[in-house]
């Protein structure tokens, strides 16, 4: 499992409400993305927005970020997104009441 944190600076004319409204309108489209387990749409008062994505594999993530999605970010925000990948070793889900070990510790 891979977590990707994606960030980009918003143009001055896109405020909190405009960002929220845009995210709400596009969120359903992410339900059909191959390998995407979940996405959190994020915004900060510093004028930075993006997403925290959970992916089944890095290959799925890289395929998505190299396609039309990236072109749309550049077109809409005028910049390349900053994307950082992390390997997920374990996950605590308090809503579901579960702890999942994704990559178990190796015996010494």
From residue 75, how far is each of 4, 8, 70, 87 by CA, in Å?
21, 12, 9, 29
Tokens of 37: 């387990």
Does the structure show a pLDDT above 90 at 108? no
Q: What pLDDT score was predicted for residue 20?
A: 98
Helix (H) or strand (E) holding 8: strand 2-9
Task: Indicate whether this model's pTM tops 0.75.
Answer: yes
Longest alpha-carbon distance in the chain: 55
Total residue count of the chain as it appears in this document: 108
Mean of pLDDT values over 25-52: 97
pLDDT per residue over 12-23, tens digit each? 999 999 999 999
Q: What pLDDT score was predicted for residue 88?
A: 96
Mean of pLDDT values over 54-78: 93
Does the structure show a pLDDT above 90 at 67? no
Structural domains of the chain, with CATH: 2-101 (3.30.70.100)
Tokens 């890095």 sit on residue: 58
Q: What pLDDT score was predicted for residue 36?
A: 98
């Amino acid at each position: 499992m891979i977590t990707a944190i994606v960030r980009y600076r918003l143009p001055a004319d896109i405020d909190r409400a405009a960002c929220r409204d845009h995210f709400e309108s596009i969120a359903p489209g992410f339900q059909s993305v191959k390998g995407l387990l979940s996405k959190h749409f994020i915004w900060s008062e510093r004028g930075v927005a993006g997403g925290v994505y959970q992916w089944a594999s890095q290959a799925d993530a890289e395929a998505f970020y190299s396609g039309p999605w990236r072109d749309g970010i550049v077109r809409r925000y005028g910049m390349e997104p900053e994307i950082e990948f992390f390997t997920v070793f374990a996950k605590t889900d308090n809503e579901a009441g579960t702890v999942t070990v994704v990559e178990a510790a190796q015996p010494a």
